[in-house]
Chains A and B, each alone.
Chain A
Amino acid sequence: DQQVKQNSPSLSVQEGRISILNCDYTNSMFDYFLWYKKYPAEGPTFLISISSIKDKNEDGRFTVFLNKSAKHLSLHIVPSQPGDSAVYFCAASTGNQFYFGTGTSLTVIP
């Protein structure tokens, strides 16, 4: 039973345009959400997070939006750069438990 889902396994975007990565969750008890980026042969790297009491958090080119009523999380990257090409994982936590999605592979085309 997957509590965090990323339904798009892959996404291709032109350089300079916006990349939108989506994540859905089922557990209303999740209180913290995170996005990670992963390059091949490396572990995931923390990117940005948001508390459940907020609906938006911005850090440079990266913005995370949280829609609690829809149990939906999204990551916006603007403008997208070729170096952003990686696998992106969303994660959610409650207590000491962490749940990850299966990842979305983003390709930014120069």
Chain B
Amino acid sequence: ETGVTQTPRHLVMGMTNKKSLKCEQHLGHNAMYWYKQSAKKPLELMFVYNFKEQTENNSVPSRFSPECPNSSHLFLHLHTLQPEDSALYLCASSQGLAGGPAYEQYFGPGTRLTVT
């Protein structure tokens, strides 16, 4: 148990559906992240939030829409996805964004997304 939970663990959705991924951290951290892991590719950072404010958006298509209502919750809203968006989506949190130990990220178990 890492203190970061993600729901759902598995999701199958059609290209016209709208769904949301949820992440919650119970560690008192201030920064939260969304990552995408495709088969045989490295983890790709998608979004970074620090104190609820988005600090990074790594050229992610607009069909992915993040939301961070508070420092403990992070959502990823999905709409009109493509089959190539099928991947493992991981949420992480860290104490802060400053250098040193604040960089240590704690990951949730991920949501396995399949777009049909």
Contacts and interface: CB of A to CB of B under 8 A. Distances in A.
A45 B108 CA distance: 9
Interface size classification for chain A: 20 to 34
Interface size classification for chain B: 20 to 34
A102 B48 CA distance: 21
Contacts of A93: 103
Interface stretch (B12-20, B36-44, B68-76): B36-44
B41 A102 contact: yes
Interface string A86-99: 00010101001111
Interface in A32-53: 32, 34, 36, 41-46, 49, 51
A31 B99 CA distance: 8
A96 B56 contact: yes
Given A32-B99, A42-B109, A99 B2 contact: no
A43 B110 contact: yes
Contacts of A32: 99-100, 103
Q: Which of B4, B45, B101, B109 has the most CB of A within 10 A?
A: B45
B42 A43 contact: no
Nearest to B97: A96
A104 B41 CA distance: 12
A36 B42 CA distance: 13
A95 to B, nearest CB: 8
Contacts of B44: 100
Contact of B103 (A2, A34, A100, A103): A34
A51 B105 CA distance: 15
Q: Give 6 closest A-B pairs by Cβ, nearest first.
A: A43-B107, A100-B43, A100-B42, A46-B104, A44-B107, A102-B42
